[in-house]
Amino acid sequence: MKAVLGTTIGVVALLLAGSVASQPQNPSRAISAQDSAAVGQATAKVIEVTARKYEYAPSEIHVKKGARVRLKVRALDRTHGMKINLYPEGAAEDGQPGLRFTEPQNNWKLEKNQERVIEFVAEREGTYPLKCSVFCGLGHGGMKGKLVVEE
């Protein structure tokens, strides 16, 4: 009984020690995450993109692998959309996506004249097709662009 009690106390002590030990780590991790976010924001590559019937400008967006990218997208003439592939052309569409978006989505509605900020880290090189995801007229199916992540 004594041995069991001793073990129980030992386990509780370990758990307490563990939680105490892990507490200082949590704030520091939060701080370092904030710092890297701040650094990321400071170093994000900002690219302005416009959307209108039936094209994006620029139609090809080039970024460097590893870059944090902030697209500022604006629809000029009516509502459009932008859906960006998570995987590069030719890659198997499973596992880690090649683009890591800060929002859990890869498809945005673009209201006319409202700037939409789309932010991601370009993790894997390749060509990522993007296209309009809101029906906008006869040419909608051809409203496409490319995001090219280069080594």
Tell me the window of 33-41, 62-70, 115-123, 138-146 that interacts with Cu ion (CB under 5 A): 138-146
Are 139 and 54 spatial neighbours (Cβ–Cβ below 8 Å)? Answer: yes
Residue from 49, 99, 110, 132 touching Cu ion (CB under 5 A): that is 132
Q: Does 99 bind Cu ion (CB under 5 A)?
A: no
Residue corresponding to tokens 């789309």: 118
Handedness of CA 39, 41, 42, 48 (dihedral sign): positive
Min separation Cβ 74 and Cu ion, Å: 15
Question: Cα–chain-centroid distance for residue 4?
Answer: 50
Task: Give residue 43's identity as a one-letter amino acid code.
Answer: T
Tell me the window of 4-12, 40-48, 95-103, 143-151 that interacts with Cu ion (CB under 5 A): 143-151
| Residues near Cu ion (CB under 5 A) | 132, 136, 140, 143
